[in-house]
Amino acid sequence: MPTTAIRSKTVRRSIALPSELLEALLGSAPSSVKRNLNRMIRAAIEEYVAHRTQAEFARAMEEMAADPQVRREHATISSEFRKTASDGLKP
């Protein structure tokens, strides 16, 4: 394929699902996508990707929170801001 050719933004794949999984999908799908298997699978994959992204972010935050260097920097920044946290504010 020439490099100047326009590529489709949609990729088609054939998948195989266990019938029990398909039945569970059909039974739990929102009515807005229930009649369109392609939309159901797309919605499920989008939800899966969002969940994995959130889980990875949470894991990275936990790693940072446990890192002694990050904890020291946080303590330093907190100490510096504590001195000026209420500057100009009336009680």
pLDDT band at 3 (very low <50, low <70, confident <90, very high): low
CA–CA distance, 79 with 60 (Å, rounded to integer): 24
| More confidently predicted of 8 and 88 | 8
Q: Spell out the residues 6+ positions from residue 43 whose beta carbon is closer than 8 angstroms to its own.
A: 29, 30, 33
For residue 90, the model assigns a pLDDT of 62
Residue 83 has pLDDT above 80, yes or no: no
- How far apart (Å, rounded) are the C-alpha atoms in residues 72 and 10? 47
**Residues in Cβ contact with 35 at an 8 Å cutoff, skipping those fewer than 6 apart:** none
* Mean pLDDT value across the chain: 86
Is the model's pTM score more than 0.85?
Answer: no
pLDDT of residue 58: 97
Residue 41 exposed, middle or buried by CB count within 10 Å (0-12, 13-18, 19+): middle
> pLDDT for 25-66, tens place per residue?
888 888 888 889 898 888 889 999 999 999 999 999 999 999
